[in-house]
Homo-oligomer: A and B are copies of this chain.
Amino acid sequence: MDIVPGILKGDKRSIARLITLIENQADEARDLLKQLYKFTGNAITLGITGPPGAGKSSIVNFLAKKFRENNKKVGVIAIDPTSPFSGGALLGDRIRMQDLTLDDGIYIRSMGSRGALGGLSRASYDAVKVLDAAGMDYIIIETVGVGQSEVDIIKLADIVALVLIPGMGDEVQAIKAGVMEIADIFVVNKSDMDGADRLITEIQMNLDLNQDKNKVKPPILKTVGTTGEGIADLYKTIIDVQKQLQDSGMLTNKRKTRINQELQELIREIHLKQIISSFETQIRIFTEKALNKEIDPYSAAVYILENAKL
């Protein structure tokens, strides 16, 4: 089957082939994505973020099943950290999800986190577009809880759910500025553990102090990722938040901002590939000068750029 018609029919093999081409930065991927672009924009993208060990994978697992029960097609992109050393835990999480992969209405893919866009790779952005064009109703993006990807998720997701667990001390205080603010939904997972209610109080207090008064206060939900308890509520809440975003025009605004940012990134990326080669001789000359301490590298870079009359 040709890739583009295959993807438009939701064929898993075609989806997998294009995402692999994207990951390998194959030239043909660019053209295929261009053909698919006009079929995108229908899926709701849902970011699941939170610290390592919060049980994000279990929640994604149950949530994907819940979408399927409601006859929604769902894609899952699990962002793994691009580590040069292997990590057993992550792989284990993925294996747990294999019971879902026999279902034709679900597509699951792990992807690396490295890339030009901070924590999320360009490839993951493009993979979301592929799943969107393939007719997924929802695309879940699960991040790893380390690094820039937590904050970057807002660049990719219409709705962000932040998963926290009790018993880590002053959890909410320890979360860096900017992360609480991106959450549309708070999920207190492992809520059968001691301290779940205290965590909820902490989240509420933090929201009271810091949240924009004009914004709707994000709902806080309890789940138990090992049993699936609370997932039905989470599902319902996601649908509610989606409706609010659509009715208020916020969804279109979010997507416009996202395209604007993507365009900026792409201009940077494409332009960079061109620029360095044109300065090759100059860079070689000034490397010698800097090695001999005649000039520092920063001043050299400024000099080269200023004299290039771009």
Query: Which residues on A are within 8 Å of B, measured CB to CB?
Result: 30, 33-34, 37-38, 40-41, 50-52, 81-88, 113-114, 118, 145-148, 150-151, 168-169, 174-176, 178-179, 252, 255-256, 259-260, 262-264, 266-272, 274-276, 279, 283-284, 286-288, 290-291, 293, 295-302, 304-305, 310
Contacts and interface: CB of A to CB of B under 8 A. Distances in A.
Contact of A33 (B41, B176, B259, B296): B296
A147 to B, nearest CB: 6
Contacts of A88: 168-169
A145 B255 contact: no
- Chain multiplicity (copies): 2
Contacts of A37: 293, 295-297
Contacts of A288: 256
A275 B270 CA distance: 12
6 contacts: A81-B147, A85-B175, A85-B179, A259-B291, A263-B286, A270-B302
A268 B275 contact: yes
A202 to B, nearest CB: 14
Contacts of A83: 51, 145-147, 150, 176
Nearest to A300: B263
Contact of A151 (B84, B260, B276, B290): B84
Contacts of A267: 275-276, 279, 283, 301, 304-305
A249 B38 CA distance: 57
Contact of A259 (B52, B148, B269, B287): B287
Contacts of A295: 37
B34 A270 contact: no
